[in-house]
């Protein structure tokens, strides 16, 4: 077990919904201290209202300084200029980040630190902070996001892979792509907040009021509605089966116009993490419709295990990490295939939350995944310590 350590974590913004990064750190934070560094962007900045609001938010968080956001976890929002193409700006960022982070670590009296980064754009500063160990946890093909600074992010990641003592990859395709740059790359698949999502199976959990009275079956999706979600497939299913209800729970980060005039599609917007089991309890079948591209082929969708922990039958795009669950998940690439799979599930009566389905992913909990991560980190620390001892012995012999 990893215990009593100080961990510097580069991730997304703490205030967001708990993605894999927060799930890992919440559990490591039970026995270690964490300094969580809010997002260093991989995307190209645009002169838009959204970016202006983002800048204002970041400035507000910066002036809050280092603050406790959870037991043993502190958050810091550094000043950072997201123009990755300019070498002078990268040097400026490296200098400013080092000053800010060293000050935060000094205030918290961090010692013997481990850097645990999920962000390729941390590469310039990682390794300059006196770390004992550098861990890169790769959970996406970051350069493949549609708004990413492709070349800059790819080069930054290659630098980070060379610096890292340990690399964790969340999917088999990512493992295969990153291992040539670092032979200490290991596969650690995503987990699930099992106890939380298993609530959808429990009799005491109510169904979200918005779902009561909707025509059945209810086909559901939860998560960010971004450009990697196949909205055309959703729209086509809705048009071809107007008697079915399709419920989409989540914030939109892309144009939803093609769904707006479909009467059987309910766009409910963002709902809190705490509320999600009440929505999943009301779904008959969960949908996992992704566009097939470089980003999604390397992804390991968190919501897949969340759907399964909620005991739901799932119909999803045949991505490598989705196909791993073939048998529990019905695979479909087109609207016609989705409809066929859904109708088969309906005909067999295999709909709604089921304890039997939920139990099949009980071993996929984040608690078990973090034990796996702790083992790999402790092993890497031991190897590095032994290497340093041998180096010192060699220096004494030749002196």
pLDDT at 101 (0 to 100) = 95
Say yes or no to pLDDT of 56 above 60.
no
Q: Span 63-69, mean pLDDT? A: 82
pLDDT at 367 (0 to 100) = 98
pLDDT at 83 (0 to 100) = 62
Q: Which of the four pLDDT bands, split at 50, 70 and 90, describes residue 329?
A: very high
Q: Where is pLDDT greater, at 248 or 40?
A: 248
Say yes or no to pLDDT of 95 above 60.
yes
User: What proportion of the chain, given as a percentage, has pLDDT over 90?
Assistant: 80
CB 141 within 8 A of CB 176: no
Say yes or no to pLDDT of 249 above 60.
yes
Question: Rounded to whole angstroms, how far apart are CA atoms 363 and 365?
Answer: 6
Q: Span 165-185, mean pLDDT? A: 98
Lowest mean per-residue pLDDT among 38-52, 67-81, 328-342: 38-52
User: What proportion of the chain, given as a percentage, has pLDDT over 70?
Assistant: 92
Say yes or no to pLDDT of 47 above 70.
no
pLDDT at 48 (0 to 100) = 52
- If you average pLDDT over every residue of the chain, what do you get? 92
Lowest mean per-residue pLDDT among 48-52, 149-153, 257-261: 48-52
pLDDT tens across 288-320, in order? 999 999 999 999 999 999 999 999 999 999 999
Q: Span 193-220, mean pLDDT? A: 97
Q: Where is pLDDT greater, at 89 or 283?
A: 283
Q: Two tokens at 342?
A: 């859904």
pLDDT at 322 (0 to 100) = 97
Q: Which of the four pLDDT bands, split at 50, 70 and 90, describes residue 390?
A: confident
Lowest mean per-residue pLDDT among 96-105, 195-204, 211-220: 96-105
CA 189 to each of CA 172, 250, 305: distance values in angstroms, whole numbers, following the listed order: 8, 24, 11
Question: Rounded to whole angstroms, how far apart are CA atoms 262 and 104?
Answer: 51
3-class DSSP state of 33: strand
Helix H segments across the chain? Answer: 20-28, 49-63, 87-108, 150-163, 172-178, 194-197, 231-240, 257-260, 276-282, 294-297, 302-309, 320-323, 335-348, 355-359, 366-398
Q: Span 16-43, mean pLDDT? A: 91
3-class DSSP state of 129: coil
Say yes or no to pLDDT of 57 above 60.
no
What residues pair up with 6 in beta bridges, in sequence order?
A: 33
Domains of the chain: 6-191+366-398 (3.40.50.2000), 194-359 (3.40.50.2000)
What residues pair up with 9 in beta bridges, in sequence order?
A: 36, 116
Question: Rounded to whole angstroms, how far apart are CA atoms 43 and 234?
Answer: 27
Q: Which of the four pLDDT bands, split at 50, 70 and 90, describes residue 42?
A: low
Q: Span 227-238, mean pLDDT? A: 98
pTM more than 0.75: yes
pLDDT tens across 113-154, in order? 999 999 999 999 999 999 999 999 999 999 999 888 888 899
Question: Rounded to whole angstroms, how far apart are CA atoms 139 and 199?
Answer: 26
Q: Which of the four pLDDT bands, split at 50, 70 and 90, describes residue 393?
A: confident
Assess whether the previous peptide bond of 217 is cis (omega < 30° from 0): yes
């Amino acid at each position: 077990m990893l215990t009593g350590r100080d961990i510097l974590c580069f991730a997304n913004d703490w205030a967001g919904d708990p993605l894999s990064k927060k799930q890992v750190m919440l559990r490591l934070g039970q026995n270690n201290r964490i300094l969580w560094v809010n997002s260093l962007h991989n995307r190209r900045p645009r002169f838009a209202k959204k970016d202006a609001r983002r800048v204002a938010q970041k400035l507000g968080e910066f002036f809050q300084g280092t603050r406790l956001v959870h037991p043993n976890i502190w958050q810091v929002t550094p000043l950072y200029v997201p123009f990755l193409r300019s070498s002078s700006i990268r040097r400026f960022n490296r200098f400013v980040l080092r000053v800010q982070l060293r000050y935060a670590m000094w205030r918290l009296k961090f010692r013997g630190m481990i850097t645990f980064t999920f962000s390729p754009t941390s590469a310039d500063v990682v390794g300059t902070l006196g770390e004992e160990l550098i861990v890169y946890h790769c959970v996406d093909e970051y350069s493949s996001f549609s708004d990413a600074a492709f070349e800059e992010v790819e080069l930054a990641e290659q630098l980070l892979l060379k610096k890292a003592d340990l690399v964790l990859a969340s999917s088999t395709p990512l493992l295969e792509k990153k291992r040539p740059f670092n032979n200490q790359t290991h596969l650690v698949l995503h987990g699930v907040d099992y106890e939380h999502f298993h609530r959808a199976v429990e009799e005491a959990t109510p169904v979200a009021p918005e779902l009561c009275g909707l025509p059945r079956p209810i086909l559901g999706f939860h998560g960010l509605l971004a450009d990697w979600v196949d909205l055309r497939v959703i729209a086509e299913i809705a048009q071809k089966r107007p008697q079915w209800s399709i419920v989409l729970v989540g914030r939109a980060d892309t144009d939803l116009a093609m769904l707006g005039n479909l009467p059987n599609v309910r766009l409910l917007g963002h709902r809190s993490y705490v509320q999600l089991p009440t929505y999943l309890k009301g779904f008959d079948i969960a949908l996992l419709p992704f566009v097939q591209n470089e980003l999604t082929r390397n992804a390991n969708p968190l919501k897949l295990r969340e759907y399964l922990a909620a005991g739901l039958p799932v119909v999803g795009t045949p991505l490598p990490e989705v196909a791993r669950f073939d048998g529990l998940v019905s695979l479909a690439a087109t609207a016609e295939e989705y409809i066929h799979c859904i109708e088969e599930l309906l005909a067999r009566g295999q709909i709604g939350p089921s304890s039997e389905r939920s139990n099949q992913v009980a071993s996929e909990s984040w608690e078990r995944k973090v034990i796996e991560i702790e083992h790999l980190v402790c092993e890497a620390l031991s190897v590095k310590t032994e290497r340093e001892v041998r180096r010192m012995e060699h220096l004494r012999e030749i002196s």
